[in-house]
Structure 1
């Protein structure tokens, strides 16, 4: 079977979670080629195996090179491994492990490495079925996810209009990406969890100090993001992930390709950082774990 056919077969087994992003009708896989709602709105499976469920074109700044660099750092260099371990452990502690299966949605999945790694770890911890679904508005990221991780569902989708029925997910991951808390509450089951990862003040401080003068780019506060999360969910726990990794020259090249910090930095400062033989990079993140309030 081709990737397209394999993906369509997998989605056909799980199609009950979906709704049409245009009219909200139920959807069905047709001839392992298309995903069609009862009102005949049609979305084709791509040859890579993902679905584009947006209703209009969306442009982002994220390129194919951005996501390839990100995948290599995450999947091959294990740059975010402590974060993945912490997320899996928080799910193990807080999720209802009596269920036969666990449904995890990653909102802002990028090229899929975080979701794939989390699902793999949770599967080994729970010893039961875990279904991973990743969405992002960046088509290049979802394409890379479908190419490299075939055991999950991947879709280009709008976070303001997600193509899923109400109360279908046990866990929603939101890792260093925008949120839509109204949608999160709609999609979560009654006992579902939201796990939002936000940067703390020390996150990538070495890069920010090298690329920028004394500005907001150097001094970052997550207070507003944390307060807004607290307003929308009942806080169960929070966990700080803090460590420093030494990057060699090839990894520095990858990192500078995948960080949006370079988008607003001067070229000469970027070049100066790229010429380093090695660099210590601080990861300073906070995992917020919340449950629905109603």
Structure 2
């Protein structure tokens, strides 16, 4: 027997973990057929694509994010820039089911799951191009195009929800978490990518950053909150500079990208860990 296709692997994976899923239209449970149809009792149906992902969107959405952005992001993360952050996150994870919300091309989730034995990684993003890249680069995980406002998951399902440098939906996070689950959110601190800020936005308000309001909202949303700051600087090879500019919104607003010269870059973030009780 030859190697299974990405679609066949995805079908088997979703069948094994079908209890995770609820119809984004009517919230009923879903079954997964051998042919790759994911269907609820009300006959709302979604197909697992040949690339090994599933699109749970009920209407088309135009994303501002391109294939090139996600492939640039994968290159930067694969370089090891976020290795220390990923190790710190993994150390806070126990349990099996990990959902990464706004997962992009899946690099954070895949690399964190490598460090958590027995974990099952599920990634969701509204941007189809991101999920296509995730399915291309990382086998063995469940990749979903979907909107958290009508998410395709059952209540009380996930041990951990990751929310890394992306917008949050705390009401939905609480619905999806198991009673003893946790949300791990990563938000920038003032030193995040400071070398880029200093060159691109010197003497402007964009040169500095504060996450005070984000931290306040997080603390209001969970009964118990831990905050851990991680700060480090790593060398950055010249070929990664244009990739970094491609992947970060800061880079989109720089007119003369060729003038940016970076030999190192700083990661400075808060890891917020929230539990419901």
Q: TM-score, normalised by structure 1?
A: 0.90
Over the residues paired in the alignment, what is the CA RMSD in angstroms? 1.3
Tell me, yes or no, if the aligned pair for 1:235 and 1:288 is still in contact at 8 Å.
Answer: no
Which residues in structure 2 correspond to 1:260-271 (within 5 Å)?
Answer: 260-265=249-254, 267-268=255-256, 270-271=257-258
Q: Is the 8 A contact 2:73 2:244 kept in 1?
A: yes
Whole-Å separation in 2 of the counterparts to 1:60 and 1:235: 34
Gaps spanning 5+ residues in structure 2: where? none
Secondary structure, counterpart of 1:237 in structure 2: strand
Task: Quote the offset at 1:264 in angstroms.
Answer: 2.4
In the aligned structure 1, how far is the partner of 2:42 from the partner of 2:58? 15
- Equivalent residues of 1:170, 1:191 under 8 A apart: yes
Distance in 1, Cα, partners of 2:24 & 2:91: 33
Aligned to 1:13: 16
Aligned residues: 274
Q: Does 1:221 align with 2:210?
A: yes
Instruction: Tell me the residue number matched to 2:89.
Output: 87
Corresponding position: 1:282 with 2:266 = yes
Which residue number in structure 1 is paired with residue 173 of structure 2? 184
SS at match of 1:284: strand
Deviations along 1:120-141, one digit per CA (max 9) or x if unpaired, are 1011xxxxx2111000011111
Q: Is residue 39 of structure 1 aligned with residue 42 of structure 2?
A: yes
CA distance in 1, matches of 2:102, 2:248: 15
Structure 1 residues not aligned, in runs of 5+: 96-100, 124-128
Q: Where does residue 242 of structure 2 map in the other structure?
A: 253
Single out whichever of 107-116 and 236-245 deviates more from structure 2. 236-245
The match for 1:112 among 106, 111, 134 is 106
Kindly provide the CA deviation profile for residues 191-216 of structure 1, in whole angstroms up to 9, marking residues without a partner as x.
00110000001111111121124333
Q: Secondary structure at the match of 2:207?
A: coil
Q: Is the 2:219–2:225 Cα contact (8 Å) retained in structure 1?
A: no
Displacement after TM superposition at 1:153 (Å)? 0.5
For the 8 Å contact 1:197–1:286, the answer to whether it is kept is yes
Q: Give me the TM-score of the superposition, normalised by structure 2.
A: 0.95
Report the Cα offset of residue 41 of structure 1: 1.1
Distance 2:157 2:43 in 1: 23
Partner of 1:98: none
1:212 pairs, out of 201, 219, 223, with: 201
**Secondary structure at the counterpart of residue 163 of structure 1:** coil
The answer on 1:136 being equivalent to 2:125 is yes
